[in-house]
Amino acid sequence: MDKNQTAWNEKVSGGIIENLKKRRMEGSYAPNAAQARNEILSMIPQGATVYRCASMTTAGIGLWDRVAELPGVTVIDHYRPGLTPEESMELRRQGMLADVMISSVNAITLDGRLVNLDAVGNRVAAMTFGPRKVILVVGMNKVAPDLDSAMARVKHYAATVNALRTGYDIPCASTGLCCDCASPQRICNVWSIIEGQMALNQGRIHVKLVGENLGY
Ligand code: SF4
């Protein structure tokens, strides 16, 4: 990343972190993925259960092998190879009671709102309630100026790129463009906008902003 992009990331991330605080969420900035990974690992308590939610970002920074090596930590991973659909769904349910949930968001606004669109809904459910700690790893490429642009980013970019990744039989997996389909394999089913946390959950959500382009 060139020095001007790096400067933008550093300046803009500071404002977002301030706005997250006003919403009773935590935020921090790491200039690169390696530093982010180490800081996230240090946030996971010994012996914790950790729910791995769908995220190309956390996979891309090589987080999960390192999490699995932490003393006494159990990773709940519903994408583990060899699971039946029923077993995978059961692990999604177990993830709701994990100590820590780690994922990413589809977009974050400058004023600190977290915007997501899920296929099944387990990711936004766990982000909203259940796990005692939620750690969200967010590349600065996911910053949007406001809610409208965040939702447009999610629907017309993140969702369609994810559709290409899944290879599902949905129109956007062919065209790269959303046509608001009614397909049984539609991946856009549950919107979530997290505006903040109540005082009793202050700091439950920690957003780790990263000065790199990560995920979609
Ligand atoms: S609504 Fe359908 S066409 Fe649009 S992005 Fe979602 S899955 Fe693709």
Query: Is-above-0.85 flag for pTM?
Result: yes
Share of the chain above pLDDT 70, in %: 100
Ligand 1 atom nearest the C-alpha of 156 is 5
Q: Give the pLDDT mean for 31-41.
A: 97
Predicted local confidence at residue 70, as pLDDT: 96
Please report the domains of the chain, with CATH numbers, ordered by start residue: 3-108+121-143+195-210 (3.40.50)
Q: Distance from the CA of 131 to the center of ligand 1, in angstroms?
A: 29
Segment 144-179, tens digit of pLDDT = 999 999 999 999 999 999 999 888 999 999 999 999
Q: Give the pLDDT mean for 39-62.
A: 95
Which residue, by CA, sits nearest to atom 2 of ligand 1?
181
Segment 57-77, tens digit of pLDDT = 999 999 999 999 999 999 999
Q: Which two tokens stand for residue 116?
A: 């997501």
Ligand 1 atom nearest the C-alpha of 173 is 8
Residues 6+ apart with CB under 8 A from 191: 115, 116, 117, 151
Q: Distance from the CA of 179 to the center of ligand 1, in angstroms?
A: 6
Q: What is the dihedral of CA 104, 40, 27, 100, to 10 degrees?
A: 70
